[in-house]
Amino acid sequence: MEIWINPGCSKCRSALSILDAESAGYTVRRYLDDPPSEDELREVVGRLGLEPWDITRTGEQVAVEQGMDAWPRDPGARDRWIAALAEHPILIQRPIITADDGSAVVGRTEEAVRSALR
């Protein structure tokens, strides 16, 4: 599995601790240093079963500056949201865990992280 993290994020550090405690095999991707492409974001959003706005941190300064809270949240707006996430990876909710079986979770809770281990 792969986990997208921001090392400064307490939720990310917590997720890593859980994975380590369970001796899970994983690769860390510091997504701020190695941002996902638009295609990768589309794939992950699909694996999550979510929409791009569902994994957007709209409270971040760049989101506020762009007025993202007012952006449409419909199929026609998906590409705009994906482009914003690719251009400003700080907007991506974290941590995101993608498993080898094709599943993915936003690991903000212990339960969500553990679900990636099943």
Provide the pairing of β-strand 27-30 with 2-5.
parallel
Cis peptide, bond prior to residue 95, ω within 30 of zero: yes
**Integer-rounded Cα radius of gyration of the chain:** 14
Cα 21 to Cα 86: distance, rounded to the nearest angstrom: 32
Q: Quick check: is 9 catalytic?
A: yes
Catalytic residue among 9, 17, 72, 79: 9
Q: What share of the chain is helix, strand, coil (3-state, %, to 5)?
A: 50, 15, 35
Reading the block at residue 42, the tokens are 């589309």
Cα angle for residues 80, 84, 88 (degrees, 5° grid): 175
Catalytic residue ranges: 9
